[in-house]
Amino acid sequence: MKKVIFSIIIINLFITGCFKDEDEIRQAYKVAVMPEITAINASFFDLADINNTYVEFTVDFETPAKSVAIEETFNGYKKTLGSYTSFPATIRITATEAVAGIPDVTIDSLKLGDSFLFEIIAEATNGIKSRSNIIVNASVACESDLSGTYDVLANGMSTDPGPTPDENPAVDFVYEVTLTETTSNGVYTISDFSGGLYPLWYDIYGLVPADCEGTLQDICGSISYVNTIEPFGSPIEGTGNVDPVTGIITLDGTATAWGDTWTLVLTPKK
């Protein structure tokens, strides 16, 4: 399943009044029209392809409407984007359009986690305008699609005297791990942070593969261990990357308290 780093889209529901033009004079709710977002085709700005990326959603009404305008907010700065008069309307906003006119903000200055809010200002056929109860929150993020089973080729060295010479150092040890998406975007559980080396080395202490679960984070193709503690109490640190074409993950790791080190090559199973 595709995931994307950080919050990609949030729809917040709240009841607002209506306003006449820009003075926001409160009117009876019954005279307003409320838009619906009927489809979300692209919900974040892809940092890896920032010059070509866009967000896209479709706006429609159950009752006749005259027009909608899109109001954008970024770090407190507000501006109005295009106006649409035919419905359903497909709204496409490129990252270039989103930053245009914002002081000191350019495509190149956008960073992971930046967030653009898009509100819909609807105008009824009677001229009454209303601020919609729908907010599209489009973040600057990256696609992450790492869930699955991987063949592992592991090389590493333990600092413990217990493993046998044919186990340590480990050379081209073959194993299999599974990456499972969590509730946090871009964060995955890995079934064995060591790629099988810890069960190989430390079965003499009763350690089994189920003891070696860890956590990886993917930020735009850069992989790192996060919040992972090995069975003997040492934090696990390390970084790597994923090949955007093959999906192969290369990952270096270390148990910082003991000095055990390893390099894993994870190849997605077909």
Q: What is the pLDDT of residues 19-33, one digit of tens each?
A: 444 444 334 445 678
Q: Does 134 share its domain with 204?
A: no
Q: Is the pLDDT of residue 3 over 90?
A: no
Same domain, 90 and 171: no
Asked whether 128 and 20 are in contact (CB, 8 A), the reply is: yes
Kindly state whether residues 27 and 11 are assigned to the same domain: yes
Query: Does residue 163 have a cis bond before it (omega within 30 degrees)?
Result: no
The reported pLDDT for the residue numbered 54 is 93
Mark whether 57 and 160 lie in a shared domain.
no
Are 263 and 176 within one domain? yes
Task: Round to whole Å and give the CA distance between 237 and 224.
Answer: 7
Other Cβ atoms less than 10 A from the Cβ of 238: the count is: 21
Q: State the DSSP code for 29.
A: G
Q: Which residues span the domain enclosing 162?
A: 145-268
95 and 158 together in one domain: no
151 plus 248 within the same structural domain? yes
Domain end point (choices 142, 158, 190): 142
Gyration radius of the chain over CA positions: 25
pLDDT over 80 at 130, yes or no: yes
Cβ neighbours of 221 (radius 10 Å)? 16
Tokens of 258: 């003991």
The yes-or-no verdict on residue 73 having pLDDT over 90 is yes
Q: How far apart are CA 60 and CA 206, in angstroms?
A: 61
Question: How many domains does the chain fold into?
Answer: 2
**Distance between CA 7 and CA 129 in Å, rounded?**
30
Q: Where is the domain boundary, 98, 127, 142? A: 142
> Alpha helices of 85-192 — where are they, by DSSP H?
95-99
* Integer CA distances (angstroms), 69 to 7, 76, 202, 240, in order: 24, 19, 63, 44
Do 217 and 100 sit in the same domain of this protein? Answer: no
The model's pTM is 0.62
Residues 151 and 112 in one domain: no
